[in-house]
Amino acid sequence: MDVRQLVALNLRRLRVARQISQDDLALAAGIERSYAGHLERGSKNPTIVTLEKLALAMECEIAELFQKIPDGTTGVEPLKSGRRPPTARSSR
């Protein structure tokens, strides 16, 4: 797995674990939602500044985006679809 795929998988894993939609993450990080999608698919190279914005938006350390993934891990289950009630995190 290359570093871009590693960051992509960790970004999605951290976002889903925190129950944050791509829309809410993009809004909190000040990036386009479609760009967040590209980053989660590993099809774009983020700058270190963008990675910092994403980490701050998810309230995690930037190093967590580079964390080694256990062997055999292939993906992350998506969030349940549909509208969710607003949270403190999404009302920023």
pLDDT of residue 69: 80
| Domains defined along the chain, listed by start | 1-64 (1.10.260.40)
pLDDT of residue 30: 97
pLDDT digits (tens, 9 = 90+) for 1-51: 889 999 999 999 999 999 999 999 999 999 999 999 999 999 999 999 999
36: nearest Cα among 53, 19, 60, 18: 53
The position carrying tokens 């760009």 is 35
Confidence label for 53 from pLDDT (cuts 50, 70 and 90): very high
On whether the CB atoms of residues 22 and 54 are closer than 8 A, the answer is no
Between CA 8 and CA 17, with CA 11 as vertex, the angle to 5 degrees is 135
Q: What single letter denotes the amino acid at residue 63?
A: A
Q: What single letter denotes the amino acid at residue 13?
A: R
Between CA 33 and CA 60, with CA 17 as vertex, the angle to 5 degrees is 80
pLDDT of residue 92: 44
Residue bearing the bigger pLDDT, 38 or 74: 38
